[in-house]
C-alpha cells in the first residue's frame, strides 16, 4: 500500500510539473488587453454606471498596453510609451500566476489560458471587479 501511495504521489507531482511547464510556454510572449471582450464580459455582470465608466476609462488608457512575459520570469509592460518592469511566476499546477510590478506581488487565478486568449479572474479585494482578458499582441506569436 505504501508503494502504491508513493507512486501515486510521484505521478501527481510529475503531472503538476507538466501542467506548469505547458502553462508557462503558452504564456510566454506579448499580450494585450482585449478591451471589447472585457467590456462585454462586464456588461453581463450588470455593473453600476460608475463601475462601467471606470472600466471604460481604464480600457481607454490601457488599450495599447503590451505585457511581455519573458521565459526567465521577467515582465515588461509598455503603456503609452512608458515601460514598467517586473516579474511573474506560475504556480506548480499552472492555475495561478503572481505578477509583481512595482514591488507589489499580486496572485491572479487563471480562468483560461490558450495560445489565443488569457483570462484572469477578478480580484475584488484589490478593486479589480472585472475579468482581465488578453489576446496575443499584434505582430507577436
pLDDT for res 124:
87
Is 100 within a domain? yes
pLDDT for res 98:
95
Is 64 within a domain? yes
Is 85 within a domain? yes
pLDDT for res 5:
45
Please say whether the beta carbons of 30 and 67 come within 8 A.
yes
Is 34 within a domain? yes
Give the H/E segment covering residue 28: none
- The CATH number covering residue 10 comes to 2.40.128.370
User: Measured between alpha carbons, how far is residue 126 from residues 72, 105, 122, 130 in Å?
Assistant: 27, 12, 9, 11
Is 33 within a domain? yes
Is 31 within a domain? yes
Angle at 62 between CA 59 and CA 63, to 5 degrees: 70
How many separate domains does the chain show? 1
pLDDT in tens, the chain (141 residues): 555 444 343 333 334 445 678 889 999 999 999 999 999 999 998 999 999 999 999 999 888 899 999 999 999 999 989 999 999 999 988 999 999 987 778 899 999 999 999 999 999 888 888 999 999 997 654
Range of the domain at 82: 2-136
Is 87 within a domain? yes
Give the global pTM: 0.81
Is 141 within a domain? no
In this structure, what C-alpha cell is assigned to residue 33? 488587453
DSSP state of 115: S
pLDDT for res 51:
92
Amino acid at each position: 500500500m505504501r508503494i502504491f501511495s508513493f507512486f501515486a504521489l510521484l505521478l501527481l507531482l510529475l503531472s503538476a510539473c507538466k501542467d506548469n511547464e505547458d502553462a508557462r510556454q503558452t504564456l510566454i510572449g506579448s499580450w494585450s488587453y482585449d478591451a471589447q471582450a472585457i467590456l462585454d464580459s462586464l456588461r453581463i455582470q450588470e455593473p453600476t454606471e460608475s463601475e462601467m465608466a471606470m472600466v471604460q476609462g481604464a480600457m481607454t488608457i490601457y488599450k495599447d498596453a503590451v505585457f511581455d512575459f519573458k521565459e526567465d520570469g521577467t515582465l515588461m509592460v509598455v503603456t503609452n510609451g512608458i515601460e514598467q518592469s517586473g516579474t511573474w511566476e506560475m504556480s506548480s499546477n499552472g492555475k495561478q500566476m503572481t505578477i509583481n510590478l512595482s514591488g507589489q506581488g499580486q496572485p491572479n487565478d487563471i480562468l483560461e489560458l490558450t495560445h489565443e486568449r488569457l483570462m484572469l479572474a477578478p480580484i475584488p479585494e484589490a478593486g479589480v471587479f472585472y475579468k482581465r482578458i488578453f489576446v496575443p499582441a499584434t505582430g507577436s506569436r
